[in-house]
């Protein structure tokens, strides 16, 4: 399966007041928003979410930052969603991201890079179970 993915508009995007702009970009790229919420996640929630990075030097900074301010999480539905959304999102470091990608437009640093997007179907299943345990609100 590859027709859904999960994104998080990170604290920097919410602070910059570009939630609508970024969601609109995905709608224009033919994705449907299948679930959507704003949340203030705890450190524990983001420790679980980013568990794969627990031994990386930036882990503590990342978890503290993600839990420091509200974020917006969404499940996007569309053909080849995982790969297409990662392309639209761009490289982790906004300085290295291709022109026109969300991280190039809105990101400021490798840490504060505007948006998260699932990197595989397995990641999507894990991430959506954490952030949307109630499931999607809409399909099709």
Contacting residues toward Mg ion, per CB under 5 A: 119
Is residue 67 a contact residue for ligand IDP (CB under 6 A)?
no
Residue 92 touches which of Mg ion, ligand IDP, none (Cβ within 5-8 Å per kind):
ligand IDP
Residue 115 touches which of ligand IDP, Mg ion, none (Cβ within 5-8 Å per kind):
none
Alpha-carbon 113 to chain mean position:
10
- For residue 60, give every residue at least 6 positions away whose Cβ sits within 8 Å of its Cβ, in sequence order, or none: none
Is residue 113 a contact residue for ligand IDP (CB under 6 A)?
yes
Minimal distance, residue 86 CB to ligand IDP, in Å: 8
Decide if 81 contacts 35 (C-beta within 8 A): no
Compose the 15-54 pattern: x for residues touching ligand IDP by CB under 6 A, - for all others. Answer: --------------------------------------x-
Residue closer to ligand IDP (CB basis): 79 or 96:
96
53: annotated active-site residue:
no
Sheet harboring 71-77: ordered strands across?
32-39, 71-77, 4-9, 115-117
Render 66-89 in DSSP notation, one character per residue.
HTSS-EEEEEEE-TTHHHHHHHHH
> Annotated catalytic sites, by residue?
116
């Amino acid at each position: 399966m590859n027709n859904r993915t999960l994104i998080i508009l990170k604290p920097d995007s919410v602070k910059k007041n570009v939630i609508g702009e970024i969601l609109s970009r995905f709608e224009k790229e033919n994705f449907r928003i299948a679930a959507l919420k704003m949340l203030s996640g705890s450190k524990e929630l983001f420790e679980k979410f980013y568990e794969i990075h627990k031994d990386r030097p930036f882990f503590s900074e990342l978890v503290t930052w993600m839990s420091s301010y509200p974020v917006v999480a969404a499940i996007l539905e569309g053909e080849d969603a995982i790969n297409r959304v990662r392309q639209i999102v761009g490289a982790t470091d906004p300085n290295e991201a291709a022109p026109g990608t969300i991280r190039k437009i809105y990101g400021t640093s490798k840490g504060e890079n505007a948006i998260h997007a699932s990197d595989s179907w397995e990641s999507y299943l894990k991430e959506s179970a954490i952030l949307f345990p109630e499931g999607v609100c809409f399909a099709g």
